[in-house]
A and B are shown apart, each in its own frame.
Chain A
Amino acid sequence: MISWFHIPPAQRPLFSLFVPALLVLALCCFCSLLFGAGGLSLQASFQTLLGNGSADDQFTVFHLRANRTLVGLFVGLTLGIAGALMQAVARNPLAEPGLLGVSAGSSFAVAITLVLGASTATLTVGIAQLGALIGCICVLSVARMQGQHNDPIRLVLAGAALSSLLLAVTSLLLLFDQRAADEIRFWVTGSVAGRDTNTLFSLLPSMLIAGLCILYAAKPLASLALGERVAIGLGHKPQRIRAVVIVAVALLVGGATAIAGPVAFIGLVVPFAARALVGPDIRRTLWLCLPLGPIIVIAADVVSRLVAQPAEMPLGVLTAIIGAPVLLLIVRSRRMPTL
């Protein structure tokens, strides 16, 4: 009897992982409705879910907690997929929107709109996505010029440099505007609590476009993993694939940042876990990222409510604490895996 773990990741049937992952995701969502900081006890939450709770309890469970679960679902989905795409296009396992300054570009754009008079509630999503696009192009063009296959570290350094630059300019803007500084103080931590779900609906068109981009690019991206020449030989156009993928990443990351603020390391952890489970093929990785991203974000969010009761720990801090060890793990692995 060969155990499942003896099958090499690349040969494992996808559905044998996808279906259990969906079940785990459902469990996470259930926990997210059940657990929480504050006065509502576990039993009361359960009773409310069954339909017999007071109006206050129903508001807590079906409005507050349901909303943040929904936002967590969205953020995990977008950031996980964006991380996988970015790593595939940069052929670098360390490429992560948070580390590479894509989120910082988005934050910068958001800070500008705040200073110009918008409040976080009426924030225009398109601007966050535009900022993400500019950050993405900046950092990937730096890496491209160097021949990214040889030096995975350079990309991270370029990202760190870009992030620190953008953060400095952001703080510069906020120096002039006290109100914006007060608003952004809560936003930059990255959290799924108390976010406006109406923004989710306004994001739907851009997510549709991102989805179409991914559908177009997934197969060529898989052949790009074999090398640029092979991809050209197979009739693909690497430049065009990259452009499409960058647009998709910008739409996804910009959308997630507009809703939840910069949440780092999700784009690193999710594809890492997915690759470990189903191997390096980008199409299989993307499928598994779909449930894995929300699982990790929602689980982290539930933990963030429970560890520091009665207060809450912001999600961004928790993901940094989960993500940094994974970063070290990738770097410490004997041979820096190239994609």
Chain B
Amino acid sequence: MINQSLSLPNDEEVTSAPSGHCLLPLGRNAILLIEKPAIIRNAWLLTLLAIACIATLGIGTMPISPKEVIAVLFGHGSSMSQFIVQDLRLPRLLAALFTGAAFSLAGCLMQTMARNRLATPGIIGIDNAAMAFAVSSVVGMGISLAPSVMALAGAATATALAFGLAGGSGTRGYRFIVAGIGIGAIAGAITQLLLSQVSIDVANSAYPWTVGSLSARDPMMVKVLGIGLGVCLVACLLFASQFALMPFSDQVITALGANIKSIRIITLVLCITLTGLAVAVAGPVGLVALIGPEIARVLARYRGIPLISSALTGALVMIIADLFGRTVLSPIELPVGIVTAVVGGPYLIWILVRRTSRTSL
């Protein structure tokens, strides 16, 4: 949305913006360059998101009309619908909103960094490692910390291993991906090991973690994720101009005066935080990180890096997938991870199969 803030020499008057942009003066020496199509695009996405939210709050075994939903949200409505909307459906909606946005934003960042649209946190094993750590705390093995802390630790461990073993991600982006696949395989095996060691009841309680589900999530963790997501979004906007350099080669970035290493480290830290917290809430729903940025990129028509749009589309995808899983086979509830995998898996294969595909960004 906000492309970059430019500082201008004093003696130069800026009178007109490039086409499709508008200027916003910030004090004496700086202006903000705003891309109009991006604003319009994100406004559309926000509208769609709001419609999806209201639909989600209304649809269920006790249908509530959109009018009533809006009334409840503004503090009116019958006590019955207030209970259903506020206490039952709203927490789940927030969880879907936050996790979708977090996964998708992390995916967008990592794809940009590795210059490969297949390099999402799910593919390179961050999801699996975060899951393995979180499951270990759920089934009570080893050190028992809060699952969100464990998930963050797992995400950080996996990323550090993949990045370190592959020797960076720059010109050898593919190494990073394959190293991640290997680490993801180990983490998956460890999860299976943990689940096979405990009684069936404990295993069942950990089962939603392993497929990705939004039912009965800890409200505390959702709150932590919300705060983390807010912080990461602000950080993304602050560093947006630096992230915009990442598609270029290392030499170009260095020649432009930016520090490629620090950009990569910032990106990785953001990815770890977002993915770790999101896995702590919903388990591995990694394919959202693949689908969300892809839709955002199609909408943006390859103009820059669609960070905000990615977050919005990710949240939209997650909400729709959860709504689908909740209603289509009701009363049985499909975990959201399974819905996204069944939809996203064929899509991933399709990306690979297309003859003239552009897997690199």
Interface residues, chain A, with chain B CB atoms under 8 Å away: 94, 98-99, 138, 142, 145-146, 153-154, 156-158, 160-162, 164-165, 167-169, 171-172, 175-176, 181-182, 185-186, 188-189, 264-265, 311, 313-314, 316-317, 320-321, 323-325, 327-328, 331-332
Contacts and interface: CB of A to CB of B under 8 A. Distances in A.
Contact of B175 (A186, A188, A316, A332): A332
Given A142-B349, A332-B175, A156 B355 contact: no
Interface residues of B, number: 47
B183 A168 contact: no
17 contacts: A138-B349, A145-B353, A146-B355, A157-B181, A160-B123, A168-B211, A171-B211, A171-B335, A172-B334, A175-B334, A185-B196, A189-B192, A311-B197, A313-B193, A316-B193, A324-B186, A328-B165
A160 B181 contact: yes
Closest 10 CB pairs of A and B: A165-B345, A168-B341, A324-B182, A320-B189, A161-B348, A327-B182, A317-B189, A153-B174, A331-B178, A189-B192
Contacts of A324: 182-183, 185-186
Interface string B90-123: 0000000000000000000000000000100011
A157 B123 contact: yes
B192 A317 contact: yes
A157 B338 contact: no
Nearest to A145: B353
Contacts of A167: 341
Nearest to A188: B192
A1 to B, nearest CB: 39
Contacts of A311: 197
A307 to B, nearest CB: 12
A213 B167 CA distance: 41
A35 B249 CA distance: 55
A164 B352 contact: no
B178 A156 contact: yes
Interface of B: 118, 122-123, 165-167, 174-175, 177-179, 181-186, 188-190, 192-193, 195-197, 200, 203-204, 207, 210-211, 287, 332, 334-335, 337-338, 341-342, 345-346, 348-349, 352-353, 355, 359
B349 A165 contact: yes
Contacts of B122: 164
B332 A162 contact: no
Nearest to A268: B182
A189 B191 CA distance: 9
Contacts of A265: 185
A26 B122 CA distance: 42
Nearest to A324: B182
B123 to A, nearest CB: 6
> Could you tell me the dominant secondary structure of chain B's interface residues?
helix
Contacts of B335: 171, 175
A188 B210 CA distance: 14
A321 B186 CA distance: 6
B186 A162 contact: no
A181 B207 CA distance: 10
A211 B65 CA distance: 66
Nearest to B349: A161
Contacts of B197: 311
Contacts of A172: 334, 338, 342
B192 A171 contact: no
A186 B181 contact: no
A142 B341 CA distance: 19
Nearest to A143: B352
A182 B25 CA distance: 64
Contacts of B337: 168
Given A158-B352, A331-B179, A168 B342 contact: yes
Contacts of A316: 189, 192-193
B131 to A, nearest CB: 13
Given A168-B211, A169-B342, A320-B188, 8 more contacts: A158-B353, A165-B345, A169-B338, A175-B338, A182-B200, A321-B189, A327-B182, A328-B182
B347 to A, nearest CB: 9
Most chain A CB inside 10 Å of its own CB: which residue of B342, B353, B355 = B353
B186 A94 contact: no
Contacts of A317: 189-190, 192-193
Contacts of B186: 320-321, 324
A244 to B, nearest CB: 24
A189 B190 CA distance: 9
Nearest to A331: B178
A317 B334 CA distance: 28
B334 A157 contact: no
A109 B249 CA distance: 45
A160 B167 CA distance: 22
A264 B352 contact: no
B175 A331 contact: yes
B284 to A, nearest CB: 9
